[in-house]
Amino acid sequence: MLRVAVVGSGPSGVYAAQALVGQTAVPDVRVHILDRLPCPYGLVRYGVAPDHEKIKSLQNSLRAVLEDDRIDFLGNVEVGRAGLGPAKLLELYHAVVYCVGAARDRKLGVPGEDLPGSHSATDFVSWYSAHPDAPPDAFALGARSAVVIGVGNVAVDVARILARGADELRGTDVPERALAALAASQVRDVHMVGRRGPSGAKFTTKELRELGALPSADVMVDPSDLALETAYADPAAVPAIVRRNLTVVREWAARPLQGRPRRIHVRFFLRPVELLERDGRVGGVRFERTEPDGTGGVRGTGAYQDIEAQLVLRAVGYRGVPTEGLPFDADRGVVPNVAGRVVRDGRFSPGEYVAGWIKRGPNGVIGTNRPCAKETVNSLLEDAAALVGRPLAADPEAELRALGQQPVRWRGWLAIEEAEAALGRALGRPPVKIPDWAGLLGAARETGSGGPGEAGH
């Protein structure tokens, strides 16, 4: 039997497990999916916006994979803690596939970035997604004006959540404290700002159009920003998605205001150079006006503009973080690999593999992880004959417990789901996420079958 650990239960991890049990070259495979959290699905649970129900429904197809009898979910298992590093995992499993994503946000690298009121978009997403690491009172939303730096889909998500009315989110799984904070929000102006023009933005047209459909917010585009956009000169020469995005922002620039309670200002060709302090916290952002440099990039013009803001959220990308005991390319933020095989000191490391963002960097959509994981699993299967000959500990889960880990098995996760459904019923809402570690682990334990210390798939 080929025994494999997959570290991470987001899409890349689940797709890797699916590829392992779905192949026929090595018919006898057993997969343990290990996750630091007691809940599966990774960013599908904790990164997809609560009002994106269609994308969140991907959990149903991931669930079908995790319910396979050849796959065991072991949540609340933290690799790198209490002696459970890569070397120890190779004593328990023939192969380990690391699907740990890119957990850290990129910094702006400008003065004032660490002022109170300045946050990463990752922190804001974790807060409204009920991630147990996020302080429940992290965002009081007393700001009148918010600046979101970035023009990708994450920036669009956080701008949309800030501009939505709380009543529009009551039918989602937003935790109760976040919903109350959004209901009391004083934010009236949301500025989403990018250093390039709309042709260089990373958002998708569908996400962009959602901003314009909000009943509670007017969307505003400065025509002078669009005047710098060189793609207008020959729209046929740019990709279709760029043409569609250009059409949307041009429509917004010409649209009359409707007098809605909030305003979303979509700005281009502005590069942040400093976060401004006022009364000991962030009070605004100073931007330098940029212009196309003729080579696809932008250059500064020496002209500056300040935008008032008591809340600043940076959404300028993610970075992988090192796992102790694994090699790491700090420049690219990935584990060095070839087709998913981990490379140590110029050589393949037997039994160690990567998939997802930690393999290729933070790019692509959720579906991109499927072929990425399949490539990695193909590499693993090519190596399988050499891997299965290595002796292993008889019971890897018992070894995990001996190290002080307390795995939450699949039935423990189902108990968390039921507890969240019950919480929603009590609040007159759909299932509402439990936002804290104690609540999640307490719900898992209450089943008596599958929580920490219990057996059962």
User: Binding site residues, as ranges?
Assistant: 12, 43, 79, 195-196, 207, 357, 364-366
Which amino acid, residue 173? D
DSSP assignment string, 421-439: HHHHHHHTSS-----SHHH
Reported in sequence order, the residue ranges of 188-297 that DSSP labels E, i.e. its strands, are 189-193, 217-221, 262-267, 270-278, 281-292
User: How do 95-98 and 347-354 pair as beta strands?
Assistant: parallel
How far is residue 152 CA from its own chain's centroid?
13
Give the pair of three-digit tokens for residue 81: 């803690």
Q: Within 166-239, where are the H helices?
A: 166-169, 176-183, 205-212, 223-226
Alpha carbon distances (Å) from 161 to 48, 190, 279, 282, 283: 12, 10, 27, 21, 21
User: How do 29-34 and 118-120 pair as beta strands?
Assistant: unpaired
Answer yes or no: are the C-beta atoms of 33 and 77 closer than 8 Å: no
How far is residue 117 CA from its own chain's centroid?
21
Backbone torsions φ then ψ of 34, nearest 5 degrees: -100, 135
Question: Distance from first CA to last CA of the chain, Å, rounded?
Answer: 19
Give the pair of three-digit tokens for residue 300: 């500064």
Q: How far apart are CA 315 and CA 107, in angstroms?
A: 9
Taking residue 138's Cβ as centre, other Cβ atoms within 10 Å add up to 15
Q: How far apart are CA 138 and CA 117, in angstroms?
A: 10
From the annotation, which residues make up the binding site for NADP(+)?
195-196, 207, 364
From the annotation, which residues make up the binding site for FAD?
12, 43, 79, 357, 364-366
Taking residue 319's Cβ as centre, other Cβ atoms within 10 Å add up to 17
Answer yes or no: are the C-beta atoms of 147 and 309 closer than 8 Å: yes
Q: How far apart are CA 93 and CA 331, in angstroms?
A: 30
